[in-house]
Structure 1
Amino acid sequence: MRGKVMLAATLAGVLAASACSSGEDVSEAAGDTTPPVPTKSAAPVEEPPAKEPVILAFGGDVHFEGQLRARLNSPKTALGPISSTLRKADLAMVNLETAITTGGTPAGKQFTFRAPPTAFTALKAAGVDVVSMANNHGMDYMETGLADSLKAIKKTGFPTVGIGRDAKAAYAPYRTTVKGNKIAILGATQVLDDHLIPAWTATDTKGGLASAKEVPRMIQAVKQARKGSDLVIVHLHWGEELNPCPLPRQKELARQLVDAGADAVVGGHAHIPLGGGYLDDSYIHYGMGNFVFYSASGQTANSGVLLLKAEEGKITKAVWKPARISGGLPLRLKGASAKAELKRWQGLRDCAGLEPRKGSS
């Protein structure tokens, strides 16, 4: 009897082991009909969005002085008809050449520009997605104007580069993802009045503007922006007023920034358009000219929109859309006038030392 009991126990153990090894629930083998507790499956891994081609649009210098100030009362039409071109792009950028303040002390210089925070409302309504304030008017109302500008940027949340409470913030890129493309945008100025350089340049302990005169810091900023980015764009205020050709220091800096990882370098200051084209696989535009500018006339009324197509981390196409400023606003040229101005602009590429690319203007 004792041997039968032992045999029965041994057989039960074998059956249980067999059930476990075959994946069968032990309780079911024993006659328990209680359903097993389902196991928690792992959440599906989300695939990153596919990278689609993106269109980037750039306009030149913008402020809201003179007759342009009243246009802020109607933000949706403040930039005029050119807004339709900006809105069609996946990302649009301009140079905001003014302090955003209603107070402060004007800097000791011939021209000082300022605008109320509603300037950001107007820019957003016009289709502008990001601006640079690193230019020779970004701190026209000195430290109080800087504080007001930073307050307005924070309050509105409008993406602004080239300015900050310290150097770390001023040289930091604006990062965004557009159609699956991770884009980093930096802003800096190579143009500052000599007597204002110490007061206006951001340092580790003082607010101000990002200075492209600080070349090692600029190169480091581009290298940092390169990490984790598909596209790196550098917006610079540089050049010489009314000079249609880039200065040697512009060409030197362009080469250094491209070598550091910039895919596009776009800028202005000369108040007239300069040439644009390819440097290796990167696109350089040395001067966008005026864009929304109250005093534009004669050659300084020549303007335009630069459209860049980016695919797989490269600028594959560039198109210059000529415009002419009238009443402070840029109006797209059409027909024969557009063709003539485009041909003139293409001629500026020679002294810029840049190359055209098939499919680009």
Structure 2
Amino acid sequence: MRRDPLVLPLLALLLVAGCTAAQGEPTPTGSGEPRATATKSHPKPRRQPYTISFAGDVHFEGVLRTRLDGDPRTALGPIASVLRKSDLTALNLETAITTGGTPAPGKQFTFRAPPTAFAALKAAGVDVVTMANNHGMDYMEPGLKDTLAAIRKSRFPVVGIGKDEAEAYRPFRTTVKGNRVAVIGATQVLDSQFIQSWTATRDKGGLASAKNEPRLVQAVRQARKASDTVIVFLHWGTELVKCPTPAQRSLAATLVDAGADVVVGSHAHILLGGGYSGQAYVQYGLGNFAFYNWGPDTGTTGVLTLQINGRKVLKDQWTPARISGGVPIPVTGAGRQQALSAFRALRGCTGLAAAPDA
């Protein structure tokens, strides 16, 4: 059968076009966009265990203020070498960041520090702080404005405080060795006359309050959806009381049920016990850390370091220290074992276990 003389050239063109498309070259589509070419899929990085350290209350009042004038790497003293070893470090910054403002009326103790505090903390190996505590707004609304401005300028990660409720309860998020970590800050301790004025709302700046328990639970549940590890850092407890209060134990259980893997906190000025609640780790009181007030009990401190993989807390370690000159000095020699035994004994009144559930 005779072929049309135009058929062979047409077939050749079709073969060329087919080969070109098969090789992944872009060809026009109906939308005018090139057709997507095949790409290799990259596997999600595998999680590996990471370490996170926690420390208690820090301000820069009294003997500590001058430490901000020197090398920021030495502001927290020799304990910084412990903080820097961890993949992540968090503590409670118990002060307003302002050089102005008016002290909160009726408060016996008010704390404030200049913005250089953030540089000192960063240089000491601290990665994130919570400012949700009963001193975070010691210089009232003007002090809050200065604090938020200093946070923005320094770009230092801070939780538990914000221009509104959404910002105050928003977690700090980071990825460490493949683990998506979320850290939330909130305070269960507020002077009664300031509960309303210091608590962040939809249209007012302030602190994340654990007294608004449903809102804190909501923050934990939201963080759980997109995190491998959810951590809540609280300001809680009763000053100089060595055992957790019923309010602390109730809140810890509620937060663990909501999805928190680690719940830690401070406020009592002394150490409280810690341990496991099921698979979660709870620490009821980290004590003073860099603080102008120290004595036999209030000067006993240290660093809690957890090794975590996803939701599993694999190991807990306590580095004991004593406050001297306002800063923590790691305990060495014969006193170290005694300090470790004393810390472990604090677990006795917590209802927590020495190891996670099998």
With structure 1 as the length reference, what TM-score do the two structures score?
A: 0.90
The separation in 1 between residues aligned to 2:62 and 2:246, in whole angstroms, is: 34
Same amino acid, percent of matched pairs:
58
2:139 corresponds to 1:153: no
Structure 1 counterpart of 2:50: 54
CA-CA distance at 1:43 after TM superposition: 3.3
Label 1:176 to 1:37 Cα distance change in 2 as closer, same or farther (>3 A): closer
Structure 2 counterpart of 1:115: 113
2:2 corresponds to 1:7: yes
Structure 2 counterpart of 1:78: 75
CA-CA distance at 1:18 after TM superposition: 9.5
CA-CA distance at 1:265 after TM superposition: 0.3
Q: Considering only aligned residues, what root-mean-square deviation do their CA atoms show, in Å? A: 2.2
- Which residue of 35, 39, 42 corresponds with 2:25? 39
Label 1:123 to 1:232 Cα distance change in 2 as closer, same or farther (>3 A): same
CA-CA distance at 1:49 after TM superposition: 2.1
The separation in 2 between residues aligned to 1:143 and 1:27, in whole angstroms, is: 70
CA contact (8 A) 1:16 1:26 kept: no
- Which residue of 9, 16, 25 corresponds with 2:16? 25
Structure 1 counterpart of 2:29: none
User: What are the Cα deviations for residues 197-237 of structure 1, in whole angstroms up to 9, with x where unaligned?
Assistant: 11111111111000001111111110011111000000000
CA-CA distance at 1:27 after TM superposition: 10
Label 1:144 to 1:51 Cα distance change in 2 as closer, same or farther (>3 A): same
The separation in 2 between residues aligned to 1:133 and 1:27, in whole angstroms, is: 64
The separation in 2 between residues aligned to 1:185 and 1:340, in whole angstroms, is: 32
Single out whichever of 246-255 and 38-47 deviates more from structure 2: 38-47
- Which residue of 158, 164, 167 corresponds with 1:166? 164
Single out whichever of 331-340 and 252-261 deviates more from structure 2: 331-340
CA contact (8 A) 2:24 2:38 kept: no
Counterpart amino acid of residue 182 in structure 1: R
User: What are the Cα deviations for residues 118-165 of structure 1, in whole angstroms up to 9, with x where unaligned?
Assistant: 000000000000000000100000000000000000111100000001
Counterpart amino acid of residue 99 in structure 1: A
Structure 2 counterpart of 1:103: 100
User: What are the Cα deviations for residues 262-302 of structure 1, in whole angstroms up to 9, with x where unaligned?
Assistant: 00001000001100100010000000001000111221000
Label 1:261 to 1:37 Cα distance change in 2 as closer, same or farther (>3 A): closer
Structure 1 counterpart of 2:332: 334
Question: Number of residues paired by the alignment?
Answer: 343
Structure 2 counterpart of 1:234: 232
The separation in 2 between residues aligned to 1:47 and 1:96, in whole angstroms, is: 39
2:186 corresponds to 1:191: no
CA contact (8 A) 1:276 1:284 kept: yes
The separation in 2 between residues aligned to 1:143 and 1:110, in whole angstroms, is: 18
CA contact (8 A) 2:303 2:318 kept: yes
Label 1:53 to 1:14 Cα distance change in 2 as closer, same or farther (>3 A): same
Label 1:26 to 1:298 Cα distance change in 2 as closer, same or farther (>3 A): closer
Secondary structure of the 1:43 match is coil
Counterpart amino acid of residue 75 in structure 1: P
Label 1:27 to 1:136 Cα distance change in 2 as closer, same or farther (>3 A): closer
**Could you list the runs of 5+ residues in structure 2 that have no partner in the other structure?**
27-36
Label 1:27 to 1:252 Cα distance change in 2 as closer, same or farther (>3 A): closer
- Which residue of 179, 202, 216 corresponds with 2:200? 202
Counterpart amino acid of residue 233 in structure 1: I
**Could you list the runs of 5+ residues in structure 1 that have no partner in the other structure?**
1-5, 29-33
The separation in 2 between residues aligned to 1:15 and 1:53, in whole angstroms, is: 64
With structure 2 as the length reference, what TM-score do the two structures score?
A: 0.91
The separation in 2 between residues aligned to 1:312 and 1:209, in whole angstroms, is: 28
Label 1:26 to 1:16 Cα distance change in 2 as closer, same or farther (>3 A): farther
Counterpart amino acid of residue 84 in structure 2: R
Q: Which of the pair has more CA radius of gyration?
A: 1
